[in-house]
C-alpha cells in the first residue's frame, strides 16, 4: 500500500489537489498497488476539506467578515456529527485584501459559525485557528454567542482589537446555553501566550498589517482584557500555551467556552486514522509547498514522520530550503521545480510540475526500488 499524506502547497494547490495529482501518477505506474490518500492540514485553510475527504456535509452560512460585511462562509459536519470550523473562513486574512488592520478586524463571524453548528445539533466542535486577520482575543466570536463587553459607561465596547482596552465589564448571562453542552476543541500549532514579547500582537500582528505603534497598542489591549477576564472568571488563561493563537482567539475559546487546544496537524492525522494506515504501508509520501528548517521542527511533514512507525517516507515539495530531512525519518526530498523556474513561473506551473515530478519518482521507484 502507498499512503499519500501531504499538506497543501499554500498559494497554489490544496492538499486534496496534491493528493489527486500524486495518486494519479503513481496509479499509472503501479496499477495493482492500493493507494490511500489522507490530505492533511494544521488548523488553517484546508482543514475542513481534509476532514471531509472521506465523507460529511458542507454547510454554507451568512456571517460577518472581519469588517462586519455580510459574506457566505462554510463549515463542515463529519459523519459522526462533529462540526469542523475554520477561523479563516469568516475571519481570515485573505478576506481583508489590502485593508489589513488588526485594530479594526473582528472574529464575530467565527462565533456565528459556532452558533450555526450548534443550530445543526453539533455538540462536538473543532475550531481551526490558522490564518486569521484578527487580534481581538476572541471578543467578536464571544459576542456572537451572547457575551456582552461594555466600557466604563456601560456602552458596548468595539468588538475588535482596538476595543480591548475599553472593556471594563464582561456580562456572561447571555452566553448561549448550548455552549455548556458542547465540547469545543481548538486546533492550532501555536504555543504563544496571549500577550508579551512572545504573544499574539508582537509575533503575529505585523503580518496582519500592524506597524510598531499598533503592535504596542494591541499588546496593551490584550493585557488589559486579560486582567478584566481574570476578575470575571477568577482564573487566568493568558499564559496557557495557545492563548495567543489567531490573535488571542485561543484565549477566548479556552477562557470563556471551556475549549481545549490540540496540535492541528496531529489532530487531523489522528481523526483520519493515519497511524493505522501507515502500519500497512510500503511507502508513505508527504509534502508541502516549501520545506525548510521549521518543517522538521513540527510542521505537517514532521507529524507524518513521527506517526509513520518507521515506514519508508519521501517528501515531494514545491521548494526545498534544506538538503535533508533524514533526521526525522524522511529518506529523500524531491523538489518539483525541476526546471528551476523563477518563483512566479514556478507557481503558475505548479500542478504540471508536480505531476511530472511524481511520475518521474514513481518510475524511478519501479525501476530501482524505494530510496534508502
Is residue 175 in some structural domain?
yes
Are 272 and 53 in contact by the 8 Å Cβ rule? The answer is yes
Q: Which residues pair with 169 in a beta bridge?
A: 150
Residue 340 maps to which CATH number?
3.40.50.10350
Query: Could you report the per-residue pLDDT of 62-84, keeping only the tens digit for each?
Result: 999 999 999 999 999 999 999 99
User: Could you tell me the residue range of the domain that residue 172 belongs to?
Assistant: 47-264
Is residue 83 in some structural domain?
yes
Q: Longest C-alpha distance within the chain, in Å? A: 76
Residue 209 maps to which CATH number?
3.90.1510.10
Query: Could you report the per-residue pLDDT of 319-372, keeping only the tens digit for each?
Result: 888 888 888 889 999 999 989 889 889 889 999 999 999 999 999 999 999 998
Q: Kindly state whether residues 226 and 81 are assigned to the same domain.
A: yes
Mean pLDDT rounded to a whole number for the chain: 94
Query: Could you report the per-residue pLDDT of 201-244, keeping only the tens digit for each?
Result: 999 999 999 999 999 999 999 999 999 999 999 999 999 999 99
Q: Kindly state whether residues 67 and 98 are assigned to the same domain.
A: yes
Query: Could you report the per-residue pLDDT of 139-161, keeping only the tens digit for each?
Result: 999 999 999 999 999 999 999 99
The arithmetic mean of pLDDT across residues 315-322, rounded, is 91
Residue 294 pLDDT greater than 80, yes or no: no
Instruction: State if pTM tops 0.75.
Output: yes
Q: Kindly state whether residues 219 and 346 are assigned to the same domain.
A: no
Is residue 272 in some structural domain?
no
Is residue 199 in some structural domain?
yes
Q: Kindly state whether residues 259 and 167 are assigned to the same domain.
A: yes
Alpha helices in the chain (DSSP H): 15-29, 47-51, 87-91, 108-119, 139-144, 200-204, 212-233, 249-257, 264-271, 274-278, 300-306, 343-348, 350-368
Of the pLDDT bands very low, low, confident and very high (cuts 50, 70, 90), residue 190 is confident
Of the pLDDT bands very low, low, confident and very high (cuts 50, 70, 90), residue 297 is low
Amino acid at each position: 500500500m502507498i499512503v499519500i499524506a501531504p499538506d497543501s502547497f499554500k498559494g497554489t494547490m490544496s492538499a486534496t489537489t496534491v493528493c489527486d495529482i500524486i495518486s494519479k501518477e503513481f496509479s499509472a505506474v503501479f496499477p495493482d498497488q492500493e493507494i490511500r490518500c489522507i490530505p492533511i492540514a494544521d488548523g488553517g485553510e484546508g482543514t475542513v476539506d481534509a476532514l471531509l475527504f472521506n465523507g460529511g456535509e458542507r454547510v454554507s452560512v451568512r456571517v460577518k467578515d472581519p469588517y462586519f460585511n455580510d459574506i457566505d462562509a462554510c463549515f463542515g459536519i463529519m459523519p459522526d456529527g462533529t462540526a469542523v470550523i475554520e477561523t479563516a473562513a469568516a475571519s481570515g486574512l485573505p478576506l481583508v485584501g489590502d485593508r489589513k488592520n488588526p485594530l479594526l478586524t473582528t472574529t464575530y463571524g467565527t462565533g456565528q459559525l459556532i452558533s450555526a453548528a450548534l443550530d445543526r445539533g453539533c455538540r462536538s466542535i473543532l475550531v481551526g485557528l490558522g490564518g486569521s486577520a484578527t487580534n481581538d482575543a476572541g471578543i467578536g466570536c464571544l459576542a456572537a454567542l451572547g457575551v456582552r463587553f461594555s466600557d466604563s459607561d456601560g456602552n458596548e465596547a468595539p468588538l475588535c482589537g482596538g476595543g480591548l482596552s475599553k472593556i471594563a465589564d464582561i456580562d456572561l448571562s447571555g452566553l448561549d446555553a448550548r455552549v455548556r453542552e458542547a465540547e469545543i476543541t481548538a486546533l492550532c500549532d501555536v504555543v504563544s501566550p496571549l500577550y508579551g514579547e512572545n504573544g499574539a500582537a508582537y509575533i503575529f500582528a505585523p503580518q496582519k498589517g500592524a506597524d510598531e505603534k499598533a503592535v504596542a497598542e494591541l499588546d496593551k489591549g490584550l493585557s488589559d482584557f486579560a486582567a478584566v477576564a481574570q476578575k470575571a472568571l477568577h482564573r487566568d488563561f493568558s499564559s496557557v500555551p495557545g492563548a495567543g493563537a489567531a490573535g488571542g482567539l485561543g484565549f477566548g475559546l479556552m477562557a470563556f467556552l471551556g475549549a481545549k487546544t490540540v496540535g492541528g496537524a496531529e489532530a487531523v492525522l489522528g481523526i483520519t486514522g493515519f497511524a493505522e494506515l501507515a502500519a500497512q504501508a510500503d511507502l508513505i509520501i508527504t509534502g508541502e509547498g516549501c520545506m525548510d528548517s521549521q518543517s522538521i521542527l513540527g510542521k505537517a511533514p514532521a507529524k507524518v514522520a513521527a506517526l509513520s512507525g518507521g515506514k519508508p517516507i519521501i517528501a515531494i515539495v514545491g521548494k526545498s530550503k534544506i538538503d535533508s530531512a533524514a533526521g526525522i525519518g524522511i529518506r529523500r526530498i524531491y523538489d518539483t521545480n525541476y526546471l528551476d523556474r523563477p518563483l512566479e513561473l514556478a507557481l503558475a506551473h505548479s500542478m504540471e510540475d508536480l505531476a511530472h515530478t511524481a511520475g518521474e519518482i514513481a518510475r524511478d521507484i519501479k525501476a530501482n526500488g524505494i530510496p534508502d
